[in-house]
Chains A and B, each alone.
Chain A
Amino acid sequence: MRTAKEIVEYVAELSRIKLDEDETEKMIKELGEVIEYMDILQGLDTEGVEPMSHVFPITNVMREDEVTPSFEREDILRNAPERTDETLVVPKTIE
């Protein structure tokens, strides 16, 4: 069983988020409350109950295969902290 601190650090790592000491403490508390709530749910008897994947009883919402205009590139890129005329700029990532 992983400690709350380990879980927070692991999730932060997966999300590529850097947390300082205070933030980690805060997250341990907040995430801990969520996990505690999940534990309550875990205690319920769900024998024979289908897992629900959707809240609304709707199915087959689809669109026709039609091309609609894309956005202006400027609008796609404008909110980025760093960019060129054509693309965003991200730290070099080679798998």
Chain B
Amino acid sequence: MTWETVIGLEVHVELATKSKIFCGCSTEFGGAPNTHCCPVCAGMPGTLPVLNKKVLEYALVAGIALGCKINRYNKFDRKNYFYPDLPKAYQISQLYLPFARDGRVEYVTRSGQKKVARIREIHMEEDAGKLIHSPYGDVSYPDFNRCGVPLIEIVSEPDFRDSEEVLGYLMWLKSTFEYLGISDVRMEEGSMRADINLSVRPGGSDRFGVRTEMKNINSFKAIERAIIDESKRQIELLEAGGRVIQETRKWDDNKGRSFSMRTKENAQDYRYFPEPNIPPILISEELLRTLAERQPELAHEKRERYIREYGLSDYDAGLLTEKKALAELFERTADLCSDPKETANWMLGDMMYLMNRDSVTAEELNIDPAQFADFVIAVRNGIINRTVAKSVFEKIFASHDFNVAKYIEENNLRQIDDAGRIRRIASEVIAENPKTVAQYKSGKTKVFAFFIGQTMRRLQGKANPSLVNEIVTELLNHAD
């Protein structure tokens, strides 16, 4: 029997506001424990939370980008649960009226397939703190710095069938939020994390199987592994005649498997009720219109435009637009040199190779668009040839403070277009290697490259390659 995996996602994204959702404490990552706290976020009795305007704005921007219907009347609710990382013993969230509903995301998977994921809802809530567990005793140490950091939770419909689709969707979210500037979307710092709801069913069935939930997985690699492993576990269980229990499982990425958390059923009773401290929020038509108008061109829109306007392949356009920093470098350079195709080629080839070799992220790139553009023009106009260009590009990659024109002049790197000089050198090479010439004459034409290489080397690699080709061909065909 074939099995189909069905996955729904709950993605938590921390919003990049300066202050917390209900108080003025800083949201900065990595402060000393409990130094970004006040009575509001540390859950002292009698305090009054006040909503951060920017949180609402960022949340709405996300809702619009994900094609959701925005609720005009918004309220918050209390989700009650008892856990030491949550000093209030409740989380302020939105249950009854999430601010956004019924969205739709069109994304592209790694293998280039277009897919659609429906968004059930997005709501605003506050993050909890972090527990540091003592390795030496039966105690934990709570750090409340993350308490009250604003989050949105994006709940999808169960529209994913494998890890490739899940990763395609998550990449879409990540680059969209990066372009919108509403989140750092750094998975390693926990500013984007996913809960995975997964079930399996016989192929062709339209009923859902019993699902399990794996919470807070925070790397793409771990998400992929967790999905593959959990599908396999459920299928093996069912094929052996067992049944899947609805439960929360913890994914242990080091061990490469998940474990049942065996929490009591009681723990799921959140006893939601309306949050009395925060008055309702009305969202005006005008605010929605302003935010929609302000929305920048997003990654998937750029991708389509690059294909349309610059004739790039879908894959190449995807690579250039996934990170905002890359798209900006591309557009500014292409604009200055009026040669998007050549700019794209250098970015996708040599630049990505160097980024990979030196472990440089898109955000860390230090290339000056003006110098990059001068470089593209120099290559296009044959001022330097492609062999020389590779080494010049490495200089541009290494330093923001680099002058292409000056470097070419000072190091005498200009392409040699002097046909007489090339002919003289090529003749020398041919005269000095009679045996190789004889081989060429006898039909072993692979040695042709030898003459090109030798001639190029004697001209320090700077000669015009097509001219060298032409001259060497001519000389060989006329040699005796």
Contact = CB atoms under 8 A, between A and B. Distances in A.
Q: Do A and B come from one complex?
A: yes
A59 B139 CA distance: 43
Contacts of A59: 279-282
A61 B22 CA distance: 11
A20 interface: no
Interface string B127-158: 00001111001111111100000000000000
B204 interface: no
B365 interface: no
Interface string A42-71: 000000000001111011111111111111
Most buried by A among B19, B55, B134, B261: B19
Contacts of A10: 266
A86 B34 contact: yes
Interface residues of B, number: 54
Nearest to A15: B82
Interface stretch (A21-29, A31-39, A87-95): A87-95
Interface stretch (B37-45, B222-230, B308-316): B37-45
Contacts of B137: 92
Contacts of B56: 62
B141 A62 contact: no
Contacts of B201: none
A70 B31 CA distance: 12
A77 B134 CA distance: 18
A94 B36 contact: no
Contact of A63 (B24, B131, B276): B24
A13 interface: yes
A66 B34 contact: no
A28 B149 CA distance: 39
Given A14-B82, A59-B279, A53 B50 contact: no
Given A15-B82, A89-B141, A54 B266 contact: no
A2 interface: no
B64 interface: no
Contacts of B434: none
22 contacts: A53-B75, A53-B276, A54-B276, A55-B276, A59-B281, A62-B56, A63-B50, A63-B53, A64-B52, A64-B53, A65-B19, A67-B26, A71-B37, A76-B34, A76-B38, A87-B33, A87-B34, A87-B143, A89-B139, A90-B141, A91-B84, A92-B140
Interface of A: 10, 13-16, 53-56, 58-71, 73, 76-77, 84, 86-95
Given A61-B278, A95-B261, 11 more contacts: A14-B269, A54-B280, A60-B282, A61-B279, A63-B51, A65-B17, A76-B42, A76-B144, A87-B33, A88-B141, A90-B131
